[in-house]
């Protein structure tokens, strides 16, 4: 029965994507991923970044991707409450199938690892591998990276589900776990990276294989065992003080979006969680670049840029419960809808981003992080404008459409690449590159605002004529 459910889940995932985007266009998605990864690897090599550093970054980014996929645990409770419209996936059908939710969730995790390994992770490693081998790398090293990348995806998804499971049972337990982990790293000098799949790639040996992969297995078992979609430590999402705060927002559509996020599973903590993961990834990458190259990147530009790029997840949360066509029934234009959504999006994403910049001041120079406060808003407004213009109110579904994914990736790369290069090369011309980065982020914000104004009429025409 479990094997049959696994096959049905794979078929369900394929049908969902191929029916939405067409078999040929969706089939080109892995090729696009490989091409983009190869191009990025080559560009980073031009800046002097070594292939080992790029490989480490790929493992970190894939772990972040796994963490995002693992937030299915936050959607789970809402799905079981039938608040996601006609979305009824097999993983949420424990009430009608003769299988426990734990078995369905375990099957879902294995399916996701296999499905995304074929669709995304293998093309990512292939794109990197072509450039690495052409520049002197070995095929064996690329093969080992593939193992580390797939394991990193499983690590991220398992960690995410475990943390959500613990939080749903007792938030105090989650805070205690985080406190113990922080003390172990800061006081006990424990290297957390040594207990991730990256350890196997960095220093392959039987010992690092056990040390790097065993935590993933433990997290997967713990997450599946502890997760219960019927429990919720906050009693249904949100809190009274947040409701009170958000109900004071004068814009009714922005108030609606804020309350929808607040009252859904995970409440606003899922925004903080998503950006917190990116904050940790950025901190680790900065440390790795410094250790590998001896260059100390500009932490403010790097944090402002990457946290700003990470606000895409906030866009997904504020539009999670929106049906793109529902606004056709209301006396509002889509231009008004996007303006209100932007208000809710900025309220959540900038609050979380500035909080993480303040937290980063414990490890990085505060004057440099102040630059990040200037970079972050422009990047966030740009991300909102591009996402609204390209995907409308369906950011997650349409980004699996190959042409739109390429357009979205190109738009992000046009801003992210020069900003990250400036962060890496800041020692060459500190004042010029710092001022230039702030100016570029500001111009990007203006472009984002313009795209938001264009998004309203564009989607109004599309939805009314379809």
331 within 8 A of 274, measured Cβ to Cβ: no
119 within 8 A of 26, measured Cβ to Cβ: no
The first and second tokens of residue 88, run together, are: 């009824």
104 within 8 A of 91, measured Cβ to Cβ: yes
The first and second tokens of residue 2, run together, are: 């479990």
- DSSP assignment of 286-326 equals HHHHHHHHS----HHHHHHHHHHHTTHHHHHHHTTT--TTG
The first and second tokens of residue 342, run together, are: 């932007």
Q: Where are the alpha helices (DSSP H) in 229-268?
A: 240-246, 252-263
433 within 8 A of 314, measured Cβ to Cβ: no
Cα separations (Å) of 345 from 249, 318, 381, 388, 396?
13, 7, 9, 12, 16
Cα separations (Å) of 153 from 68, 229, 250, 284?
10, 22, 41, 17
Q: What is the pLDDT of residue 362?
A: 86
Cα separations (Å) of 264 from 81, 269, 316, 447, 451?
10, 10, 13, 32, 29
Q: With DSSP H G I counted as helix, E B as strand and the rest as coil, what are the percentages for the chain, rounded to 5?
A: 80, 0, 20
392 within 8 A of 324, measured Cβ to Cβ: yes
334 within 8 A of 277, measured Cβ to Cβ: no
Rounded Cα gap, residues 32 and 409, in angstroms: 10
* pTM of structure: 0.76
Q: What is the pLDDT of residue 462?
A: 85
246 within 8 A of 259, measured Cβ to Cβ: yes
Q: How many residues does the chain have?
A: 466
| Per-residue pLDDT of the chain in tens (466 residues, 90 and over written 9) | 677 878 888 887 777 777 666 666 667 778 888 888 888 888 877 767 777 878 888 888 888 788 777 765 555 555 544 444 455 566 666 666 777 778 888 888 888 889 889 888 999 999 999 988 888 888 999 999 999 999 999 998 888 888 878 877 777 887 788 788 777 877 777 788 888 898 888 888 999 899 989 999 999 998 888 887 666 555 554 567 788 888 888 899 999 999 988 887 777 877 887 788 778 878 877 877 777 667 788 999 999 998 998 888 889 888 887 777 888 888 888 999 999 999 999 999 999 999 999 999 988 889 889 999 999 999 999 999 999 998 888 887 656 677 777 788 888 888 988 898 888 888 888 889 899 999 999 999 999 999 999 999 998 888 887 6
349 within 8 A of 423, measured Cβ to Cβ: no
Rounded Cα gap, residues 119 and 142, in angstroms: 18
Q: What is the pLDDT of residue 152?
A: 92
What are the residues whose beta carbons fall under 8 Å from the beta carbon of 3, sequence distance 6 or more? none
């Amino acid at each position: 029965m479990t094997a049959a459910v696994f096959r049905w889940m794979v078929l369900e995932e394929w049908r969902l994507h191929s029916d939405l985007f067409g078999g040929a266009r969706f089939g080109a998605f892995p090729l696009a991923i490989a091409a983009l990864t190869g191009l990025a690897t080559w560009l980073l090599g031009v800046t002097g970044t070594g292939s080992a550093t790029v490989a480490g970054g790929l493992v970190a980014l894939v772990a972040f991707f796994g963490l995002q996929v693992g937030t299915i645990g936050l959607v789970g409770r809402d799905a079981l409450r039938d608040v996601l419209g006609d979305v009824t996936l097999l993983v949420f059908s424990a009430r009608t199938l003769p299988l426990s939710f734990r078995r369905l969730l375990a099957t879902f995790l294995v399916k996701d690892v296999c499905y995304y390994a074929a669709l995304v992770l293998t093309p990512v490693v292939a794109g990197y591998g072509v450039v690495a081998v052409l520049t002197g790398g070995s095929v064996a090293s690329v093969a080992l990276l593939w193992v580390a990348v797939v394991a990193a995806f499983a690590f991220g998804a398992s960690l995410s589900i475990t943390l959500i499971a613990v939080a749903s049972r007792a938030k105090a337990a989650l805070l205690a776990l985080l406190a113990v982990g922080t003390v172990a790293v800061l006081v006990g000098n424990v290297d957390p990276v040594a207990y991730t799949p990256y350890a196997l790639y960095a220093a392959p040996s039987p010992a690092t294989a056990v040390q790097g992969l065993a935590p993933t297995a433990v997290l997967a078992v713990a997450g599946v065992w502890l997760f219960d979609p019927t429990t919720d430590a906050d009693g249904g999402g949100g809190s009274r003080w947040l409701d009170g705060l958000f109900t004071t927002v004068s814009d009714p559509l922005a108030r609606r979006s804020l309350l929808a996020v607040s009252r859904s599973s995970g409440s606003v903590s899922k925004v903080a969680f998503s950006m917190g993961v990116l904050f940790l990834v950025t901190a680790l990458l900065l440390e790795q670049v410094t250790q590998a190259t001896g260059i100390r990147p500009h932490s403010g530009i790097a944090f402002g840029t990457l946290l700003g790029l990470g606000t895409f997840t906030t866009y997904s949360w504020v539009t999670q419960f929106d049906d793109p066509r529902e606004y056709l029934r209301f006396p509002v234009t889509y231009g008004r809808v996007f303006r209100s959504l932007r208000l809710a999006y900025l309220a959540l994403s900038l609050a979380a981003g500035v909080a993480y910049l303040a937290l980063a001041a414990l490890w990085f120079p505060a004057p440099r992080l102040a630059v990040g406060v200037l970079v972050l808003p422009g990047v966030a407004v740009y991300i909102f404008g591009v996402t609204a213009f390209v995907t409308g109110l369906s950011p997650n579904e349409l980004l699996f459409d190959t042409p739109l994914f390429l357009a979205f990736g190109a738009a992000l790369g046009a801003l992210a690449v020069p900003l990250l290069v400036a962060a890496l090369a800041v020692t060459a011309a500190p004042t010029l590159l710092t001022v230039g980065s702030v100016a570029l982020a500001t111009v990007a914000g203006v472009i984002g605002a313009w795209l938001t104004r264009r998004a309203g009429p564009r989607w109004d025409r599309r939805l009314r004529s379809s």
